[in-house]
Amino acid sequence: MISVVIVFLNNIVWKNYMNTRFFYKKEKG
C-alpha cells in the first residue's frame, strides 16, 4: 500500500518537473 503512495507522489513530482522544464525552455527560447 505504501509503495502505491510513493509511486503516485513520484508521478506528480515527475510531471511537475517536466512541466517546469518545458516552461523554462519556452521562456528562454
Q: Which cell numbers in the block locate residue 8?
A: 503516485
Cα dist. 19→1, 3, 6 in Å? Answer: 28, 24, 20
**Helix-strand-coil split of the chain, %, nearest 5:** 95, 0, 5
Across 13-18, average pLDDT: 96
Total number of domains in the chain: 1
Q: Which domain holds residue 11?
A: 1-29
Residue 6 pLDDT > 80, yes or no?
Answer: yes
pTM for the model: 0.56
> pLDDT over 90 for what percent of the chain?
66
Q: Out of 1-5, 12-16, 20-24, pick the least confident.
A: 20-24
